[in-house]
Amino acid sequence: MPITCIGVGPGDKELITIKAVKAIEKADCIIVPEKKEGAKKSTALGIAKDYIPKNTPIIYMYFPMIPIQSNKEYVDHYFSSNGKQLNEYLAEGKDLVFLTLGDPNVYSTFSYIKDYLEEDVQYIPGIASFLQGAAITKRPLCLGQESFGVINMTDDENRIKEAFRVHDSLVVMKVSANPKLLKDLLITNNKKAEFLSNMGLENESVKCDMEFLDGKIPYFTIAQVY
Amino acid sequence: MPITCIGVGPGDKELITIKAVKAIEKADCIIVPEKKEGAKKSTALGIAKDYIPKNTPIIYMYFPMIPIQSNKEYVDHYFSSNGKQLNEYLAEGKDLVFLTLGDPNVYSTFSYIKDYLEEDVQYIPGIASFLQGAAITKRPLCLGQESFGVINMTDDENRIKEAFRVHDSLVVMKVSANPKLLKDLLITNNKKAEFLSNMGLENESVKCDMEFLDGKIPYFTIAQVY
């Protein structure tokens, strides 16, 4: 497995799988995405760092966190130069591990960089934030013949509205992108929600009061709607 | 934490979290659901057994796997007697761990038994089968502003149809319950799917051909629709 993308889970250092820890221990090099160029700060690395052997090099890679379609040229510049760098390591025969928060197939940057790589990728799944959310709220996401949806407040308003109609429960990501619409839909559909911010981190909070949506909402906030 | 419900992941023994392993090691007693009364067979136990200390007692509990509404009295009989037994252990001050396949809040039997317990429950999330599915197919469940749904082929036909319309991608559980409808919807909506059976087990298989839906479908089959 020359390049393995690993989900390190939602925040708690122990919510990482044995398989992920073993891959980290064996890797020649750990690749860590950073949100600000040169900041050398990464939540995923904070979770995984106790499992990384002392002499394993850690390489930070900056990935712009703006929607790809908003400035395709700018985003593509970074993705192709990061891809080139990864391909060079792979050509040297290095075993690379790329860390992602949560699960690598749920809203992950890695899904974009994959297309620039010349070698096949392996995945190790991780605990997605919404599974940890349900563990905290102690509310099932689905039972029996029910269904649930994972939606995003940056999505088209009509699609968000339809998702409210279709499912028994919903996980709402990026709550801070449109709290007003979320509040309207909770009221219109006679639904309740719990709001989870900064899960697994020191400033974790859980709120059940809808007025949470009127205040300043932390960036890492998801809602479980039921 | 007197009773902790643990998700042991989808099948691979290493796709369990460090937190789950620690809770198993500390437990006074491991509770394992069985699908056939007295069969003493459990997929969840098969995954976790290497982590259970030699002298920790393992208690099998039979839970009927029929929909609760189909025979409420029959189901309730088992749930209340299991609940009574668990409450007795809890009253003795025992630390109990209850094992569930995948994640404890995604289609888990434990969600029902919880209501019969006199003590508070803790949860440790697990890798849900559909996250491992996406790791195998190497297809993201969602990107950017997209959304996805987790649906069940035992659900109402109209709701299943709407879910196909609303989301970019879908995870379809219990494929074997209505393969004909699934095939119709894939064709009508011009969607593709990968079919994953017996993930993490010896007889795991992945099929991309829609004709899979015309044959005999293993019970543990999910589809990733895109």
Q: What torsion do the CA atoms of A160, A162, A167, A170 make, to the nearest 10 degrees? A: 10
Task: Work out the mean pLDDT of chain A and round it to a whole number.
Answer: 93
Alpha-carbon distance of A151 to A158, in angstroms, equals 12
Is A145 in contact with B134 (Cβ distance < 8 A)? no
Mean pLDDT value across residues B9-32:
97
CA distance B204 to chain A (A): 17
Could you list the beta-strand ranges (E) of chain B.
3-7, 29-34, 58-62, 96-100, 121-124, 148-152, 169-173, 193-197, 205-207, 221-225
Angle at A87 between CA A85 and CA A89, to 5 degrees: 75
Alpha-carbon distance of B219 to B57, in angstroms, equals 30
Is B144 in contact with A68 (Cβ distance < 8 A)? yes
**Alpha-carbon distances, residue B206 vs B11, B198, B212, B224 (angstroms):** 15, 9, 10, 11
Q: What is the pTM of this model?
A: 0.95
Q: Which residues contact B144 (CB under 8 A, 6 or more apart)?
A: A67, A68, A107, A152, A154
* pLDDT for A36: 84
* pLDDT for B70: 66
- What would the two tokens of residue B73 be? 């009295």
Contacts of B124 in chain A (CB under 8 A): 15, 135
3-state secondary structure of A57: coil
Share of chain A above pLDDT 70, in %: 97
Query: How many CB atoms are located within 10 Å of the residue A41 CB?
Result: 12
pLDDT digits (tens, 9 = 90+) for B104-134: 999 998 888 888 999 989 999 999 999 999 9
pLDDT digits (tens, 9 = 90+) for A64-94: 876 666 677 877 888 899 999 999 999 999 9
3-state secondary structure of A87: helix
* pLDDT for A115: 87
Contacts of B149 in chain A (CB under 8 A): 147-150, 163, 166-167
Query: How many CB atoms are located within 10 Å of the residue B64 CB?
Result: 17
CA distance A106 to chain B (A): 5
Chain B interface mutation, best of A150, A162, A172, A196, highest count of B Cβ atoms under 10 Å: A150
Give me the residues paired with residue A4 across strands.
Answer: A97, A122
3-state secondary structure of A3: strand
CA distance B100 to chain A (A): 13
Q: Is the pLDDT of residue B64 over 90?
A: no
Alpha-carbon distance of A74 to B9, in angstroms, equals 39
Give me the residues paired with residue B194 across strands.
Answer: B224
Q: Could you tell me the pLDDT band of residue B72, with boundaries at 50, 70 and 90?
A: confident
In this complex, how many residue pairs, one in chain A and one in chain B, have their CB atoms less than 8 Å apart? 180
